[in-house]
Amino acid sequence: MSMNSYGHLFRVTTWGESHGPALGATVDGCPPGVPIDEAMIQHWLDRRKPGQSKFTTQRREPDAVKILSGVFEGQTTGTPVQLMIENTDQRSKDYGDIVDKFRPGHADITYWQKYGIRDYRGGGRSSARETAARVAAGGLAREAIKALAPDVEITGYMVQMGPHRIDRNRFDRAQIEQNPFWVPDAQAAGDWAAYLDDLRKSGNSVGAVVEVVARGVPAGLGAPVYAKLDTDLAAAMMSINAVKGVEIGEGMAAAELTGEANADEIFMGPDGPRYSSNHAGGILGGISTGQDIVVRFAVKPTSSILTPRRTITKSGQETEIVTKGRHDPCVGIRAVPVGEAMMACVILDHLLLHRGQIGENRGRIG
């Protein structure tokens, strides 16, 4: 059992903190023979990298990944893959004035209460920089999935920023890569830019909802009762910094439906079952149906804002704080590639787990 690991067979352990020499992911259980090199992983890290638009933190990290083990002559060997990212732009002095103050909404106070150690430099282990390691691991997972389930396609995007939601009627997958918000709605992209720019200038921040969809996932993945596919996805997404809610398919809105309205009726298609709808988000009883796996998660607004907030110090003195560092006005944006990475890791893990217990899919229909 490790508190910094996830996955059953494809097992990722992340390590490192915001302002240490490096951070990374120790990845165990990857199948051998997966073609991989640093550039293939770097591709995904670059999507998450800060400082790419005015809407993300101006911290400038190259986030260059190094593969230290587990790869030989361009292929995974089946032994642990160590993915390391060195920290370079660590302006620890930016944090000098918060050495003794707890930033509200951050983990400063709880890490102190738990460990009695205060690594004030950028949040230490609780920093969202940790998610770079997940994205690196996710890049490897994507390549490994190709050999096992070549039709799998994983796409994340924003569907809500503050009070503004996308219009599902304007949903256009091609838009996702065309704007700094990975939003599949061109009009929303424009509206949100203006909205967020105002917030950013006023030193405020806002929350968001990210949706991640996996297409082409074979039916039969997921291991009830406590390694359900949705259970593992919920844990994977909830473990991302600042996430406060996770939904599968209808999610919280399922509460409002009747059984009649919620039923995904089943028909027979040319190569297997087809469904009238996907309220279930591609998962029944914790096992994939073959439909799109649909997950959403809510990211709270960045807690570092310029408005002074009341807080206390380690010695219990009441005081005020203004967090001046370089921060994201909507940290949800950069959570998109992280959510994709977690989806990739969970799906690969369950492909392996299913193959381990069962071999190939067993139950044929028709």
Q: Does 88 bind a copy of itself (CB under 8 A)?
A: no
Q: Does 9 bind a copy of itself (CB under 8 A)?
A: yes
Among 239, 278, 322, 325, binds a copy of itself (CB under 8 A): 239
8 A C-beta contact, residue 31 and residue 143: no
Q: Does 162 bind a copy of itself (CB under 8 A)?
A: yes
Q: Which long-range contacts (CB under 8 A, 24 or more apart) does 42-47 make?
A: 42/139, 43/139, 44/135, 44/136, 44/138, 44/139, 44/142, 44/337, 44/341, 45/85, 45/132, 45/135, 45/136, 45/139, 47/135, 47/336, 47/337
Among 53, 58, 110, 178, binds a copy of itself (CB under 8 A): 110
Cis peptide before 210 (omega within 30 of 0): no
Q: Is 276 annotated as a binding residue?
A: no
DSSP class of 217: P
8 A C-beta contact, residue 232 and residue 346: yes
Among 88, 172, 307, 324, binds a copy of itself (CB under 8 A): 307
Q: Is 127 annotated as a binding residue?
A: yes
Among 51, 62, 245, 325, binds a copy of itself (CB under 8 A): 245
Among 60, 68, 92, 146, binds a copy of itself (CB under 8 A): 68
Smallest CA-to-CA distance from 242 within 339, 145, 135, 362 is with 339
Among the residue ranges 56-64, 76-84, 89-97, 180-188, the one whose residues contact a copy of itself (CB under 8 A): 76-84
Supply 268's token pair.
Answer: 């027979």
Nearer to a copy of itself, 66 or 215 (CB): 66
Q: Does 281 bind a copy of itself (CB under 8 A)?
A: yes
Considering only residues 284 to 303 of the shown chain, the ones binding a copy of itself according to CB under 8 A are 284-290, 296, 298-303
Q: Is 241 annotated as a binding residue?
A: yes
224: number of Cβ within 10 Å:
11
Q: Is 126 annotated as a binding residue?
A: yes
Least distance between a copy of itself and beta carbon 125 (Å):
4
Q: Is 326 annotated as a binding residue?
A: yes
Supply 224's token pair.
Answer: 């009830």
Q: Which residue's entry shows tokens 């044929």?
A: 364
Considering only residues 191 to 220 of the shown chain, the ones binding a copy of itself according to CB under 8 A are 199, 204-209, 219-220
Among the residue ranges 54-62, 172-180, 183-191, 242-250, the one whose residues contact a copy of itself (CB under 8 A): 242-250
Q: Is the dihedral of CA 142, 243, 246, 203 positive or negative?
A: negative
Least distance between a copy of itself and beta carbon 61 (Å):
16
- Residues belonging to the binding site for NADP(+) are 48, 54
